[in-house]
Structure 1
Amino acid sequence: MSASPGHPAGHRPSRLRRGFAQARAFLSQTDERAVARRSSALAFGIRLSNAALAYIAQLVLARLMGSYEYGIFAYIWAWFLVFASLSTLGFSDSPVRYIPQMREHGEMNHLRGFLRAGPLIVLAASIGSAALIEIGLLVGHPWIDGVYFAPMTIMALALPFGCLQGFFEGVGRSYFWTVPALFPTYILRHLLLMLGMIAVVWTGFAPTSVNALFCLLGTLVISSVYQTFAITGRVRRTVPVGPREFRVRSWIGGSIPFSVMYGASQLFTFSDVIVLSFFVSPAEIAVYFAATRIMQVTQLIPYAATIGTAHVFSALHARGDREGLQRIVREVSFFTFALAFVVTGILALGGHWLLAMFGREFTPGYPALAILALGMIARVAAGPAEDLLNMTGHGRFSAWTAVGAVVLNLALNFALVIPFGIEGSALATSLAIAIRAVWLTFAVRRLVGVETSIFSSRPSLSALRRRFAKPSGDGFAEERPAD
C-alpha cells in the first residue's frame, strides 16, 4: 500500500529514530540537568519498588499480627521516624547541601573533614538520644501505657543504626550514587523486616509488636552496616587522599535547621497517628495507618525529584544562575504534578480494594483515604518550594515553617478527631498540608525570586510541545524562560 501525500512513508521511521535519539541522549548526556533526570528516574524506580515492597510488607505484618498488634507497631514506627530525623542533628540531609558547594568551590580539605566528622557526630548524637529515651521511659513508666513500653524500648536501641544510615544516604545522594544511597533504606530494610517476621511466626513465636520491633532492630543493623561499607568504599575511590580541615561548629549550626525541619516534617506527617492514640484503640490506629501508607505512594514522586535535583539547586544557586534555576524548577514542578495527579487518582479509585487486602477490618478507612488524597494533590501543586529554600540558605525559615505546620496540624487534629474520628484526622491533616503548601510557595517567591507552583510551570508544557514538534540535534529542546 502506497503512502498518502499527507503521510509520507518516511514519517513514522523518522519519529522512531527521534525517539531512539532522545532515549540515547537521556542515557548519554553528561550535563547537570541530564544527570539529574537520570538520577531522578533511577530514584523514582527504587522508590516505586520500595512502595510496592513496603505495601506488601505492611500487608504481611497486618495479616500476621492482626489490627491490634499492628496498630501498636504503627504507633512506635511513627515515633521512630520522628526521633531518627531529630537525632542526626540534620546530618542526614546537610550533605546534599554542603558536599556540592565544597566541590564547586574546590574546598577539598573541608570536604575530607566533613566526610570524616559527619558519621562520628551522628553516632554521638543518636546514641545520646537513645539514652535519653530509655531514661525517659524508666522515669515515666507509671504514666506510659504498658502496651507501648517494651516496643518503645526496643525502638530506642535501633535508633543509632537508622541515623547512621541517614547520613550515608545523604552522602550518596550528593554524589548521584543513587543505588547504594537508597537501596539499603528503601528496599533491603523492608525486605528483611518482612522475611524476619515470617521467620518469627514460622518458628513458633507469637506475631506481636515486640517481636516485630526486634525484627526491625536486626534489619537496621544489617542494612546500615552494608550501606556504610558501600558508601565509604566509593568515597575512598572518589575523594583524593589529603589533609582534613574541620568546621564542626559551622557544620552543626548549618545542619540543625535540617534536623528541626525534617523532624518537624516527620512529626507533621504522624501528628494524626499520635493524636489518635489519645482517643482511639490501637485497632483503629491500624486502620488509619493503613490508609496513610497507601497514600504515601504519592509522596514518593516529589521525593524522587528531590533526589535528582536538590543538589543541582544548591550548585546553581552557588554560581548565581537564577535563570537556570528557574528553568529546572519549572520542569520539575510540571512533571511532578502531572505524575502525582494520575497516581493519586488511581489510588483513590482503588482505595477500597487496597485496604481490603490488609483485612476486612481495614475497609472502614476508605473515607479517610479519599480525604488524604486531596491533601496530597495540594502538596505537589506547590512544587519543590521547600527543597529550594533549604538549598539556597533559607533552611532556618523552612525549619520554623515546619514547626508552625506541626502546631497547626496538632491543633486541627485535636479539634476534629473528637467529633469525627479518623475522618476528622484526615481532614485536619489535609487542611494543614494545603495551608503549608501555599505559604511555602509565596515564601520562595519572596526570598529566592523563583516561582515553584504548578501554575508557573506552563512554559515547561510549551517546551514539551516544541520538543515533539521540532527535533533538536541532541534530542532535547532547550526550555526558554517566559517573556
Structure 2
Amino acid sequence: MTQTSLPQTQENFNLNLIIKDVKVALILKLAGLTLTYLVQVFLARWMGKTEYGIYEYVISWSLLIAIPAGLGLPRTALRLIAEYQVKQDWGRLRGIVRGGWLLTVLTSFGLSLASTGLILLLNHYHTFAYATPLLIGIWLVPLQALVQLQLETARGMKDVTLAYAPSEVIWPILLLLGGWFFWHKNHALGSITTIELAMLMLAIALSFQFWQLWSKLNKEVEVTTPVYCYREWIDIALVLLLQVGFKTILSQTDIVMVGSLIGPEQAGIYSAAVKTAIWVAFILQTINIVVAPVFTELYTQNDQQGLQNLVSKVTVWIFWFSLAIGSILIVFAQPVMGLFGPEFIVAHWQLKILVLGQMVNALCGSVGLLMVMTGHQNQAVVVYGYAALINIVLNGILISIFGSIGAAIATGLTMAMSNIWLTVLVFRNLGIYSSVFYSFFQTEGDRQQ
C-alpha cells in the first residue's frame, strides 16, 4: 500500500509545485511580452519605418554577437548551480557565479572592441549606412551577455522573479518612458538616440539585478573561498554554446537577411510580424522555465510513466493556449499589424505564415528541452545545426523570389521541420510520446484506468 501511494503523492506534489511556479512565470512572461510589444508598437510609430528598421537591424546584430560573448556560460551556470546546491559545494557555487561573470565581461568587451575595429575598417573602404548605429549598438553586447548570465544564475537559485523581471519588465518600461520623453521633447526619435537609450536603460536594469543577485547569494550561500574550475566549466559551456548559437541564428537570421537583401524599411515591417508571432510560443517558453529540472529528476529516477504523464499534461496546456492565440492572430492579422502603423498592414501574410510555424512548435511540445535535460543534447545540437544551415539557405533563395514573404516561408518551414525531427528523436531515445495527439489519447486512457 505504501509503495503504491507514495509515487502518486509525490507526483501530485510536483504537479502542484509546477502549477504554482508556472503561474508566477506566466505573469512575468505575459507582462514582459506585453511591455515589449508596446515598446515595438510605440517605437515604430515614433520613429517611422526607416529609423525603426535601422534600430531593429542593429539590435538583431548585437543579439547575435552576444551569444559567443556569453561562451555558453548561462546554461552552464543554470545546471551547475543546482548541482552544487544539492552537494552543498559552496566554494564551487560561489566560483561559478563570480568566475562566470568575469569571463563574460572579458569576452564580451573583447568581441565588442574587435567588432568596432572591423566596422571602422569596412566603413573606411566602403561607406555604408549602418556604420554609425552599429558602432554604438555593438556596445550593447556586454550588457546583453551579462543579462543572460544573471538570468540563468537567478534561475539556478530558484528565483524566477529575479531572473526575468529586470530584463522583461523593468527594461521595457524604462525604454518606453525614455522614448516617450525624447519624442515628446523633440517631436522626433532617431535610431541612434533610441539605441543609446536602450543601452542606458538596460545598464540600469542590469545593475539592479546584479545588486539583488549578490545580496541573495550572500544570504543563502555559506561564505567560503570561491573555487574556480574554469576548464571543467568551459568544456561544458562550449557544447551548450553551440545549441544556443544555432537557436539564436534560427530566430534572427530572417530579420538580418531581410535587412541585408531588401533594406531597413522591409526589415522593420517584417520584424513587427516576427515579434507578433512570438505570442503563440510564449506559453511554451513559460512552462519550459519551470519543467526543465522536473524532466531531469524524473528521467534520473527512471520514472518513465511519471515523465510521460508530465509531458502529456504540459503538452495539452501548451496546445490549447497556443491554439487560442494563433487563431486570433490569423483571423485578425490585418488590424493587429495595423497597431504598428498603416504601413505595417502589408505584413499580414508574413504574420499568418509565421503563426502556422509556431503552431507546429506547439503541437510537438517541449521536445528540444526534453532532449537536453535528459542528456541527449548532442543529438539536439545536430538538429539545430542543420536547421540553422537550412534556414539560411532557404531565406537566401526565397527572399530573392518572394521578398519578406519568402523569409516567413523559410522560417516557418525550418521551424516545423526541426520540431518534427526532435519529436522523432524524443521517442527513439526516451520512449516518450511528446505530441499533443498522443496526450489526448493518453488522458482518455488514464480515465479508463
TM-score by length of 2: 0.92
User: After alignment, is 176-185 or 271-280 more displaced?
Assistant: 271-280
Question: Aligned-pair distance for 1:262?
Answer: 1.6
Q: Determine if the alignment matches structure 1 residue 448 to structure 2 residue 430.
A: yes
**RMSD, aligned α-carbons:** 2.2
Residues 114/245 of structure 1: CA separation in 2 closer, same or farther (3 Å cut): same
Structure in which a larger fraction of residues adopt helix: 2
d(CA) in 2 for partners of 1:279, 1:134: 23
> Contact (CA 8 Å) 2:170, 2:205: kept in 1 or not?
yes
User: After alignment, is 127-136 or 390-399 more displaced?
Assistant: 390-399
Aligned to 1:242: 224
Select which of 86, 99, 108 maps to 1:117.
99
Select which of 293, 300, 307 maps to 1:311.
293
Residues 32/100 of structure 1: CA separation in 2 closer, same or farther (3 Å cut): farther
d(CA) in 2 for partners of 1:273, 1:209: 17
Q: 1:233-272 residue pairs with structure 2 within 5 A?
A: 233-272=215-254
Q: 1:147-158 residue pairs with structure 2 within 5 A?
A: 147-158=129-140
d(CA) in 1 for partners of 2:433, 2:239: 23
Aligned to 1:469: none
Select which of 370, 373, 382 maps to 2:352.
370
Q: 1:176-195 residue pairs with structure 2 within 5 A?
A: 176-195=158-177
d(CA) in 2 for partners of 1:174, 1:331: 24
Select which of 63, 85, 89 maps to 1:103.
85
Q: 1:2-21 residue pairs with structure 2 within 5 A?
A: none
Q: 1:19-168 residue pairs with structure 2 within 5 A?
A: 31-142=13-124, 146-168=128-150
Residues 308/460 of structure 1: CA separation in 2 closer, same or farther (3 Å cut): farther
Question: Aligned-pair distance for 1:319?
Answer: 4.1
Counting aligned pairs with the same residue, the percent is: 26
Aligned to 2:275: 293
d(CA) in 1 for partners of 2:284, 2:336: 22
Deviation track 1:43-83 (CA, whole Å, cap 9, x = no partner) reads 11111111211111111101111001111111111112222
Deviation track 1:343-383 (CA, whole Å, cap 9, x = no partner) reads 11112212211111111111100011111111000112221
d(CA) in 2 for partners of 1:289, 1:422: 10
Residues 210/324 of structure 1: CA separation in 2 closer, same or farther (3 Å cut): same
Question: Aligned-pair distance for 1:459?
Answer: 5.7
Q: Determine if the alignment matches structure 1 residue 351 to structure 2 residue 327.
A: no
User: After alignment, is 260-269 or 210-219 more displaced?
Assistant: 260-269
d(CA) in 1 for partners of 2:242, 2:444: 39
Deviation track 1:277-299 (CA, whole Å, cap 9, x = no partner) reads 23312111111111111111112
> Contact (CA 8 Å) 1:334, 1:460: kept in 2 or not?
no
> Contact (CA 8 Å) 1:86, 1:262: kept in 2 or not?
no
Deviation track 1:83-115 (CA, whole Å, cap 9, x = no partner) reads 222311112222332222333444444323222
d(CA) in 2 for partners of 1:38, 1:309: 12
Residues 84/40 of structure 1: CA separation in 2 closer, same or farther (3 Å cut): farther
Select which of 374, 378, 387 maps to 1:392.
374
TM-score by length of 1: 0.85
Residues 375/96 of structure 1: CA separation in 2 closer, same or farther (3 Å cut): same
d(CA) in 1 for partners of 2:125, 2:398: 25
Deviation track 1:153-199 (CA, whole Å, cap 9, x = no partner) reads 22221211221111111022223311111011111111111111122
d(CA) in 1 for partners of 2:257, 2:131: 18
d(CA) in 2 for partners of 1:134, 1:342: 45
Question: Aligned-pair distance for 1:270?
Answer: 1.6
Question: Aligned-pair distance for 1:310?
Answer: 1.2
Question: Aligned-pair distance for 1:408?
Answer: 0.4
d(CA) in 2 for partners of 1:409, 1:265: 11
Q: Determine if the alignment matches structure 1 residue 210 to structure 2 residue 211.
A: no
d(CA) in 2 for partners of 1:417, 1:348: 22
**Secondary structure of the residue that 2:262 maps to in structure 1?**
coil
d(CA) in 2 for partners of 1:334, 1:455: 9
Residues 229/315 of structure 1: CA separation in 2 closer, same or farther (3 Å cut): farther
Deviation track 1:254-288 (CA, whole Å, cap 9, x = no partner) reads 12222221222111112111221233121111111
> Contact (CA 8 Å) 1:101, 1:315: kept in 2 or not?
no
Question: Aligned-pair distance for 1:128?
Answer: 1.8
5+ unaligned residues in a row in structure 2: which ranges?
Answer: 1-10
Moved over 6 A (4+): 463-466
User: After alignment, is 445-454 or 358-367 more displaced?
Assistant: 445-454
> Contact (CA 8 Å) 2:46, 2:188: kept in 1 or not?
no
